Structure 1
Amino acid sequence: MAISYQSEKRIFTLQTENTTYQMKVDDFGFLLHLYYGGKISGEMDYLLTYLDRGFSGNPFDVGADRTYSMDALPREYPDLGTGDYRNSAIVIRGADGSECCDLRYAGYEIKKGKYALPGLPAVSASREEAETLEILLEDPVSKVQVRLLYGVLPKEDIITRGAVIGNKGSSEITVEKAASVCLDFVTGEYDLLTFYGRHAMERNFQRTKVEHGCFSIGSRRGTSSHQYNPAVILAGRDTTEDSGSCYGCVFVYSGNFLCEAEKDQFGQTRVLMGLQEDLFHYPLKTGETLPVPETILGYTDQGLGKLSNMFQRCIRNHICRGKFAHQTRPVLLNSWEAAYFDFDGETIVRLAEDAAGLGIDMVVMDDGWFGKREDDNSGLGDWQVNEKKLGCTLGEMIERVNARGVKFGIWIEPEMVSEDSELNRAHPDWAMRVPGRKPVRGRNQLVLDFSRKDVRSYVFDRICDILDQGNIEYVKWDMNRSISDVYSMEKPQGKVLYDYVLGVYDFLEKMTARYPDILIEGCSGGGGRFDAGMLYYTPQIWCSDNTDAADRVRIQYGTSFFYPASAVGAHVSAVPNHQTGRCISLKTRGVVAMAGTFGYELDPGKLTEEEKETVKEQVRQYKKYADLIRTGDYYRLSNPFQDDFGAWMFVAEEGNHALLNVVMLENHGNMTVSYVKLRGLKADRLYEDTASGKKYYGSALMEAGLPIPVEMGEYRAYQWEFNS
Structure 2
Amino acid sequence: MAITVKDQIFSLETANTLYQMKADLFGVVKHLWYGEKTGVSMEYLLDYPDVGFSGNIYEAENDRTYSLNTMPLEYAGSGVGDFRVPAVTVRHADGSQALDLRFQKYFIRKGKYSIPGLPAVYAEENEAETLEILMKDTASETEVHLFYGVLEEADVITRSVMIINRGSMPIVLERAHSLCMDIPDGNWDWIHFHGRHTMERQAERTPLFYGIQESSSTRGTSSHQQNPSVLLCERDCTEKDGECMGAVLMYSGGFQTQIEKDQLGQTRLVMGIHPDTFSWQLEPEQNFWTPEVILSYSANGMAELSQRFHHVIRHNVCRGAYQLTKRPVLINNWEATYFDFNEEDIEQIARQAAKLGIDMMVLDDGWFGKRDSDTSGLGDWEVNEKKLKGGLGALVRKINDMGMKFGIWFEPEMISEDSELFRAHPEWAISIPGRKPMRSRYQLVLDMANPEVVEYLYQSISKILRDNHIEYVKWDMNRSISDWYTSILPAERQKEMPHRYVLGVYELLERLTDEFPEVLFEGCSGGGGRFDAGMLYYCPQIWCSDNTDAHERTFIQYGTSFFYPISAVGSHVSAVPNHQTGRITSLETRGTVAMAGSFGYELDLNQLDQNEKEKVAEQVKAYKEYQELIYGGKYYRLSNPKKDDLAAWEFISEDCSKILVQGVAFRAASNVLRHRIKLLGVDGAAIYRFVKGRQKEEKLSGKALMTGGILIPAIKGDDVAFEFYLEKIEEC
Check if 1:187 corresponds to 2:188.
no
CA drift at 1:178: 1.1
For residue 327 of structure 1, what is the amino acid of its counterpart?
T
Instruction: Count the aligned residue pairs.
Output: 722
Distance 2:682 2:111 in 1: 34
Question: Runs of 4+ in structure 1 displaced over 4 angstroms?
Answer: none
Equivalent residue number for residue 152 of structure 1: 150
2:659: which partner in 1? 658
Deviations 1:371-403 (A, max 9, x none): 010000111001110011111211111111111
**Alpha-carbon shift at residue 653 of structure 1 (Å):** 0.1
Describe the SS at the equivalent of 1:74.
coil
Deviations 1:251-275 (A, max 9, x none): 0111111001111011111111111
- Counterpart residue number, 1:12: 10
Q: Which runs of 5+ in 1 are unaligned?
A: none
SS of corresponding position for 1:69: coil
Superposed CA deviations along residues 531-577 of structure 1, whole A, max 9, x for unmatched, are 00000000000000000000001100000001111100000000000
* Secondary structure class of the residue paired with 1:278: helix
Name the aligned partner's letter for residue 74 of structure 2.
E
Please, what is the CA RMSD of the aligned residues?
0.8
Match of 1:586 in 2: 587
Any idea what the Cα deviations from partners look like across 1:215-259, whole Å, max 9, x if unmatched? Answer: 000100000000011011010000000100000001011111100
Q: Distance in 1 between matches of 2:715 and 2:321?
A: 44
Query: In the TM superposition, what is the alpha-carbon distance from 1:140 to its structure 2 partner?
Result: 3.3
Deviation of residue 278 (structure 1)? 0.5
The corresponding residue for 1:681 is: 682
- Using the alignment, how far apart are the partners of 1:506 and 1:680 within structure 2? 41
- Per the TM alignment, residue 103 of structure 1 is displaced from its structure 2 partner at its CA by 0.9
SS in structure 2 of the partner of residue 217 of structure 1: strand
Partner Cα separation in structure 2 for residue 201 and residue 350 of structure 1: 32
The alignment status of 1:166 with 2:164, answered yes or no, reads yes
Following superposition of structure 1 onto structure 2, how do residues 247-262 of structure 1 map, counting pairs within 5 Å?
247-262=245-260
Query: 2-side partners of 1:34 and 1:345: how far apart?
Result: 64
1:31 corresponding residue in structure 2 = 29
Residues 262 and 269 of structure 1 are in contact (CA less than 8 Å); yes or no, is this contact kept in structure 2?
A: yes
Taking the TM superposition and a 5 Å limit, the aligned residue runs for 1:307-346 are 307-346=305-344
2:707 pairs with 1:703: yes
Give the drift of 1:289.
Answer: 1.0
Q: Which residue of 2 aligns with 1:201?
A: 199
1:490 to 466, 488, 491: 488
Aligned-pair identity in percent equals 54
- SS for the counterpart of 1:483 is coil
Inter-partner Cα distance in structure 2 for 1:672 and 1:577 = 31
Question: Of the candidates 70, 73, 76, which is equivalent to residue 72 of structure 1?
Answer: 70
Tell me which residue corresponds to 1:392. Answer: 390
Alignment of 1:403-414 (within 5 A): 403-414=401-412
Q: Deviations over 1:613-635 (max 9, x none)?
A: 00000000000001000100000
Would you say the 8 A contact 1:394–1:469 is kept in 2? no
**TM-score when scaled to structure 1?**
0.99
CA distance in structure 2 between the partners assigned to 1:136 and 1:258 by the alignment: 25
Give the Cα–Cα distance (whole angstroms) in 2 for the partners of residues 48 and 715 of structure 1.
Answer: 53
Corresponding residue of 1:616: 617
Aligned positions of 1:394-433 closer than 5 A: 394-433=392-431
Matched, 1:634 2:632: no
CA distance in 2, matches of 1:565, 1:16: 24
User: SS of the counterpart of 2:625?
Assistant: helix
Contact 1:4 1:14 in 2 (8 A): yes
Structure 2 residue aligned with 1:356, among 354, 357, 360? 354
TM-score (norm 2): 0.98
Show CA shifts across 1:289-333 (max 9, x none). 110001111001100011000100010100001111011100000
Partner of 1:289: 287
Q: Deviations over 1:685-706 (max 9, x none)?
A: 0000003221000110111111
Which ranges in structure 2 are unaligned for 5 or more consecutive residues? Answer: none
* Partner Cα separation in structure 2 for residue 355 and residue 470 of structure 1: 21
Q: Deviations over 1:567-610 (max 9, x none)?
A: 00000000000000000000010000000010000000000000
Residue aligning to 1:722: 726
Equivalent in the alignment of 1:3: 3
Contact 2:665–2:715 (Cα < 8 Å) also in 1:
no
Supply the distance in 2 between the matched residues of 1:514 and 1:684 (Cα, whole angstroms): 50
Secondary structure, counterpart of 1:195 in structure 2 = strand
For residues 511 and 233 of structure 1, the distance between their equivalents in structure 2, rounded to whole angstroms, comes to 33
Q: 1:89 aligns to what?
A: 87
In structure 1, C-alpha distance between the alignment counterparts of 2:43 and 2:691, rounded to whole Å:
55
C-alpha distance in 1, partners of 2:707/2:316? 34
Tell me the amino acid that sits aligned with residue 477 of structure 2: M
- Any idea what the Cα deviations from partners look like across 1:326-375, whole Å, max 9, x if unmatched? 11100000010010001011111111101111100000000000001000
Distance 2:84 2:156 in 1: 27
Check conservation: 1:195, 1:205, Cα contact below 8 A.
yes
Q: Which of 104, 107, 120 is 1:106 aligned to? A: 104
1:577 paired residue number: 578
Structure 1 position 475, deviation (Å)? 0.4
Q: Distance in 2 between matches of 1:224 and 1:403?
A: 40
- Range with bigger deviation, 265-274 or 645-654: 265-274
Q: Which deviates more from structure 2 when the two are superposed, residues 575-584 or residues 347-356?
A: 347-356
Contact 2:667 2:717 in 1 (8 A): no
User: Counterpart of 1:96 in 2: which secondary structure?
Assistant: coil
Return the offset for 1:108.
Answer: 0.3
Aligned partners of 1:183 and 1:669: how far apart in 2? 51
